[in-house]
Structure 1
Amino acid sequence: MKKHSLYIILVSVFFSCSGRYKSETTIPDIIPKSSHTIIKVNALNDFKTLSSSNSPFEEIQIDSLLNKTNVLNISNPLYICISDSSSAYITKYSESLITKDSTLNNITQRSTKDDIYNTIYNKDTLYYRIIDSLFFGSYNVKSVEKAKRNDNLELKNLLLTTDDKNLGSIVFKKKKKNTLLLKDSLSSTYDIIDINAEPNTITYNGITKSSDSLFYINAFKNTTPQEFKLSEIIPANTKALTRIAFDDFTVFSENLSNINGSPKDSIPDFLSSSNEIALFNTKTGNAIAINAIDESLIKESLNTNSIKETYKGVTIFNFYSPNAFNNSLAPFISIKNTAFGFIYESFVVLAYNPKTLQHIISNKLNNQTLSSSEKYKSIGNSLANESSYLIYKDGEGLYEFLDRGAKGYNANVVQYVYDIDFAHINGVLSKYKKRAASNSVTEDFTTKLPSEILIKPQTVKNHRNNTHEIVVQDVSNNLYLISSGGRILWKKQLNAPIIGRVEQIDIYKNGRLQLVFATQNRVYVIDRNGKDVGPFPMKFNDAITQPLSVFDYDNRKNYRLLVTQDKSLLMYDVNAKRVNGFKYKKASNSISTQPKHFRIGSKDYIVFSQGQKLEILNRQGQERIKANGEINFSGNSIFLYQNKFTSLNKKGQLVQVDTKGHTTIKSLGLGSNTKFETTSKTLVALKENKLKIKSQVVDLDFGDYTAPKIFYLQDKIYITTTDLQSKKVYTFDSQAKLLPNFPIFGTTSAELQNLDNKRGLELITQSDEKTITVYKMN
C-alpha cells in the first residue's frame, strides 16, 4: 500500500477539481455499483497460485473466476468485480487482449447491438465491450449491457492508493464478516488491502474507511496507538485474542459511548488508568488483561484486599464486579463473568475461573508468553510497533472463527492503526513451523514431476519479493518454475534440452526479470508467467554448441546474447538483432568452452578455448591478447582467478594467462581428470576422493563425485559435491570443514540458495529421478 497520507491528499484534490472539468474514464469509473468485492490482480499466475493454495479464506478462493481469464492475454492489472448475481472483468484494452489460440477453441464475434462482442471459450460465452479504451467483460450479458460510467470518487481515491508491485489488491464493500481480516463486526464502508504471498504466509496492508459517524473504528478518534505490552502477560499458547489500545481512556470511552448510545458510567471506572485491554482465550478459559498506567491507582480502584488464594507468590483476589465487561466495551470486547483477578507488575488479569489465572501466572513465570514466542515473533516484522486494535488467532482459534479447517495457519494477526477518519490495516496469516535446532539440516519439501528430470534443478530470482525459485527441465523437454515452497507455478514445452544454465535479464529495464537460455536450435527469453517475450524464441538452422553467453558490459542492462555455433560466434541484442559491431572471424577449431566475459580494471575480455588456443577478445570480437604457447585443455571451464584467465590442462595442471599473454603452469598435486571451479580468490579442485579447498586437502570416502560447486552466500563461502554411488551430498566451508549434520541424502549435484529470504539456507538436490528435494540448513 502506498503511503496512506496519499489518500487524504487525493480526497481533497479530487473534491476541489471534480467540478471544473470531466476527467477521462478510468477503471474505477466503470466498476459496477453492485460489486461487494473488487480484486485487482497484478500478477495473474501468482494470484492463481495463492487462490489454489488450500487457503481457508474464502475471499481469495476465486479459482473459477481466475480460470475463466485463460482466454485473455493479460499484461495490465486485471480488476475482478464480484456481486451477488455476477462477476465482471475490467482491464486496459489492446488488440492482443483476446488470445488467438486454436488450442483454446475460442471464437470471437460481434453481437447485433450495443457494440457488445462475445468470445466462446470452453463452451462458455464471454461478453465484452470497449468503454473509452477499457475492456469490460462478463459471462453475464446483462452485466455488460448495464456497464456504464459510475462516478464513485471515494472508491477511485482508495484504488489509487494500491501498489502495482504487490501480488494484488482487494476492496471489500460493506462486509462485516470477513475471514481474511479475522473480523465479524465493524461497520466499515470500505476495506482495501494490498496482498502478497510467500511460502506458507499471506501478508497484506491497507485501509478501512467509512463515512458513517458511528463507524466503530472511530472509537479511537483523538487517541494514539500503543505498543503491544500485554503480549508480556498473555500466554504463548493463547488460542485467540482481541486487544484495544489508546493513550487516553477517557477520550476512548466517550467516543465508544457516543457510538453505542450508552451512558458513560456503564464503563468501569478502574479502566481510567489503563492504555490497553485484551480479551484472550486459553485452554482453561477466557480472561481479560489490562495494562495499567498507574499500578497503585488501579489497585485502589479494584479493592484487591479480598484474597482468594496465593499461587506461586502471586495473590489472586475476588473481583466484585463480575459483569463489568458484559457489554461495556462492545463490540470489541465482551465477557460474561470475571469473578477473580491478579496483578503482576503493571498488568491486571481477570477471569471467571481461578485455574485460568493459575495457568497465566505459570506461563508468565516460565517466560512462556506471547512476547517470547517464536511463533509470534515470526510475524512481528510485518506489523506496526503500535496499534489501536489487534486480533490474533492461532490454528485452533482460527478454526473456531472460520467454523472449518484452518489448513495449518497457526499464527494469524490483523492490526488496525487509527489515523484521522480511517485506520491502517496490517495483517499476517502464517503457517508457522517451529525452528529446528541450531546447525540441523531438515527436509523442507519435495516436489515430484510427472517425468524424469533431465536438466538439474537450479535457482532463479523472483523479482516481486526477492525470494528465489527453482527451474528444472524434464525428459519431455518441459520447463518448470517451482516456488520457494515447492509448488509448481507453471510448465512450458520447449523444443529441446537446455544447454548449460538458465540466466536472467531485465529486458525492459523495469526491475522485472526474464529467463534466458539456449537449446540446440533456439534462444528463449521467457517472462515470469512462462510466456515468450518479444521476438523470442529465435530459431537457428545450424546447431548451437555451447551455452548461451549473456553479457552486460557496463551493468546498464544493455544486454548482449552471444550464440556459439561450432567455430562461429554470433552476437545479438535483446531485440534479436545482430550486433554489427561484433566481427569475430571463424575459429580454426571448434569452440570448446562457453565464452565468458571478464572485466579487469577498465578493460573487457571475452575468453574461450578453441583447439589448443585460448582466445581473448575485446568487445568487437577482435583479438585483445595473444596467449603464449598451446594448451592441451582438459574440458574444464575458463575462470578468472587471481586476475588471470585460468583453466586446467589434461595433466590436471593449473594453466594461467595474464593480461600480457604470459602463460604459467603449476601442479595442483591431483593429476589428470581433475574437476575444478574458482571464484576470484578461492580455488576448489576434486580428483577421485581428494577434495582441495585453497591449500587444504580433504580425503573423502571412495566414490563417484560430481564436480565441486562454490557458493558465496550471506558473506560465507560454501562448497558442495555429491557422491553418486552412496547418494550423499557433502557441504564444506572455506576452511575445508564439513558442515555439521552432513553428508545428507541426495542423488545429484546440489545447489545452495536462500530461497525464502529468511534465516538459513536451502540446499536443492534430487532424491530420485523425478523428485526435487529441498533441505533447510538451520
Structure 2
Amino acid sequence: MPSQTVLVFEVGECEECLQSIRGTALLTALTESIFQGYRKAQLTKLISNFLEPKNSPVISLHVVKKDDFDFIFYAPLSKSNQIELQLKELEGEAKKFSQREFNGVQIKELPIDDKLFSWVAIDGIWVGSFTPFLVEDVIRTYKSDRSLIFKNDIREVALLPTVKNDAGNIYINLKEFSNWLTVFSDNQSTLTTVGQGAVLDIKQRQGNLTLNGFSIANNEDQNMLLSSLKQQTPVPFMLKSLISNRSVLVTSFGISDGSELFKNIELSRRKDIQDSIQSFSNVDLESIFSGLGKEIVTCYLESGGQSMARVVLFSSSNSKEWLKSFDLLSKASEKGDSLYIERFSSYEIRQIEINNLPEKLFKPLVNGFRQIYYTNIDNTILFSDRVDELRKFLDDIDKEEVWGKSVYYNQFLESTLLESNYSIYINTPRALAAVSNSLNTKWNKVYSSTNRSYFNAIGLGAIQFSHLNENFYTNIAWSFNPQSDVGRNEPQEIRDRLQVNLDYAIASKPFVVRNHASKRDEYVLQDSLFVLHYFSTDGKRQWKKEIQSKLVGTVVQIDYLNNNKLQLFLVTAGKIHVIDRLGNYVNPFPVSVPQQNIEFVSVIDYDNSKKYRFLISEKTGKLWMYDQEGRNLEGWKPRNVEGPLVTAPSHHRIRGKDFILAVRQDGWAYLMNRRGENIKGFPLNLDMRPGGTYFLEQGNTLAASNFVIVSKDGVKVKFNVEGTISSREPLIRTSVDDQFSLIAENNNRFYVIARQNAKELTLLNENGKAILVNEFVGKNQVDIQYYSFGSGNDYIVVSDKIQDLSYVYDGTGRLLTPIPLESTGITLKQENQKVSAIYVNDKTLTILPL
C-alpha cells in the first residue's frame, strides 16, 4: 500500500455485523455521496463484491485530485474468483478489454460505463481501482525498497491489538486524513494534524455507530495536537453546562496539569511571543498556566454571512490572575480615546486588540482571532472575536439553553467517553448546513443532489481521545435515526394534526410561548370577544382572560421579576398588560396609557438586565417609551418623528453603544439614543420608499455596521450609524410592476428579498439568487415569514391575506403544503428537533408537524 494512503478498511468476517452497519443512516448518507458516480447497476454489483466478507477484502482511500478521491480494492488472489467472474460478464457485453505493461507487471483494463477499471495480480494479491494511476502506485510501491509504504507510516498502530470477528478494522494515517478533508473545500489551507495514526474497530448498537481503538502521536512533532497532551490525564466534560444549544461543533481539551501543558505548546518555545506579551502586562506566563484547567473549549456557531462564529471558554483555578493579565492587555492595546467596557446582564465585557492573541497563548489548541472580547463566569473565562456573538452566547447561558440542561444532548453525551483529553462534538445536520456554502463546486453539487433526509437522519457525533499509558484510547460515536425513517418524504398524515375548537372566532394569530417550568412550547391567542386563551403543548386550555380590547402587535415573553420565570407582555388600545403563566396580572398591571391609535409595540432590554422599556408607536409617528412600572420616560413624551413608520422601531447595540432606529414610510431614517435624541447625521433621507422591514449587518466598528433596507421599486440601500449611505444597489427587475420588500429571519441573522408582480412572487437570498417562486398569490397582499432553526432547517411561509391561504416552503424552495393551509394567522416553531406549523382559521387552532 502506497505511503500516501489516507486510511485502510479491513473488512471483518462477521456478515451480521456488516449488515447492521449497512442499514444505518450514516452509512447510507456516505455511500449516497461518495459512490454517487457508481450508481449504475453494473458498477453497483461490482462494488458489492469488494465488500463481501467471504472475499476477505481490504479497501484503501486515496486523494487523486485537489477536489476528489478514490479507492483501491484488495483481495487474496485465491478469493477473487467472484470478482473475476463479474468482470468477465461485463467484458461479454461488447466492451473492449485491454492489457498493458507497467514496470514489468501486466495491467488489465475494462471500460465500464464512463469509467475505466484497472486490475492486477501481484504476489498472490488481487488489486483493482477505477483510477488507473492508483494501480500504478501499487506496482511502483511493490517494486521499490518498501521504505515508503503505508504500514511504515503507522507501524506503531499496526502492532496494536484489534477485536476479532467484528465488522472490521480501520487503520488511519491521521496526517493524510487532515489533507483529505481539504478535498471538500475551496479553502486549501492545511488543517492541524491530530496525531500520527489510529486503528479502530467498528460496532453498531441502539441507534449509535461506534468506532473505538487507539491512536498514537509522534513525540518529536509538537505541532500534533495529541503531542501537546502527552502528560495529561483524562478529565470530565464539565463545561457542558455553559455550551449553547446553538453550537454546531465543539472542541474540548481536557487539561489536568497546566504547567505540563505550557511545556508542550508553542508558547514555551517562542521567547519572542513571551517577551511581547510580558511587555504589555508583565505577567509570568508559566505561573498563570499552572492554574489552567480542567478544560479549554471552542464552540463554533452558525452566524450571518459565510463565516462561523467562535466562542472559547477555559476554566482555571487562578482565574483572577488571568483576568488581571487580560485587563492589562486590554488597556495596553486600546486604540481609541476610551477603554472598551460594556455591561451586559450581570457580565462585564472588555476588548483586547492584539492580533491572534489566543493563538499565541494556546497554539495548537486554539487558532486565529484578530481581536477578542472577553468576560468571565466564576472561574471560567469566555472570549470571542465578535461581541454580538458573545452577547448571544451569554444570553443562551442565562436562559439555560445549554447542553447541560438539554435532555437531547445529555442522552447522547452519556453514550460517549465521560472523561477525555480531546473531544470533538458535532451536531451533524447543523454542521453540514453551516459548511455547505464553503464546499467546492463538486461537493456542493453532491451534497445538494443527495437526498437531504439521509443527512438529516444523522444526529450528534463525538470523536474522543483519552490518554492511556503511551497511547490515546479513541472513541468515535455517531447517533442516527432508524433506517425505516430515512428518506421518508410523504406528506404528514392528517391524524398527526392536533386541533382545538373555540366557541368564538379567533381574531389574532397564534403566539408560541415557552413554559419556564417544563421548557415546553405553549400557545396564546385572542378570540373575537377579546378573550385571551392560553393552551398547553397538547392543546388543553389552561386559562382564559378577558382584556376588553383587541391585541396590538405581538405577545412577548419577558422575565419581569428577574427570577427566571416568564410572563406575557401585550398591549391593547390604552393599556399595557403583564400576565403570569397562571393568567394573573403582575403588579402594577394593567397600566393605563393615553395612546389609543397604536400601530407598533417594541420591548427593549438594553443590556439584558431585565430592566425593560416599552416603546409604543402611534400611526402618526409619535413614539412613547415607558419603564417597567408604566412611567413615561423623559425624551419620549412623545418623541415625534412626524410621519407614519414602515415597521416597528427597534433597539440595536453596536460596539457597546445603544441605538434606536425608526424608519418612516417616506424613507426618512431616525437613529436615536436612549433619551430619544438624534444621533449625529440623522435624520437621514434615504431617497426611497421602503418595502418590508430592515436588517442590521453588524461589523466590528461603527462605520462597518450597516443597516440594509430595500425600496419598493427595487433598490437595496445600506447606511451606517454615522449617517453615511454606504451603497445603493439596483435589484434585477423582471416586470414593470415589480414590487420589492425585505423580510428578516425570525432571529434577525439573515434576510430575504421578495419580488412580487401580477404573475408571481419570487423570494431572493441576500445575493439575489432565487429561492422559491409562488405563482398563486399574484399581487394580493401577502405576509411573508422567514424561519431558520439551524441544521439547514430553513422555512418560509407565504400567507395570502386576501384569500386567507398559507403556503409553507423549506429553505430550498420545496413546497411542503401542496394543498395550502386555510389560515387567518400562522407561525412556525421547533421543539425537540421537530418543526410544526401552528395556525388558526375561524374557531379552530391547528398544530401540524411538518
Shorter-chain TM-score above 0.5: no
Q: Which has the larger radius of gyration?
A: 1
TM-score w.r.t. length of structure 1: 0.44
Higher helix share: 2
TM-score w.r.t. length of structure 2: 0.40
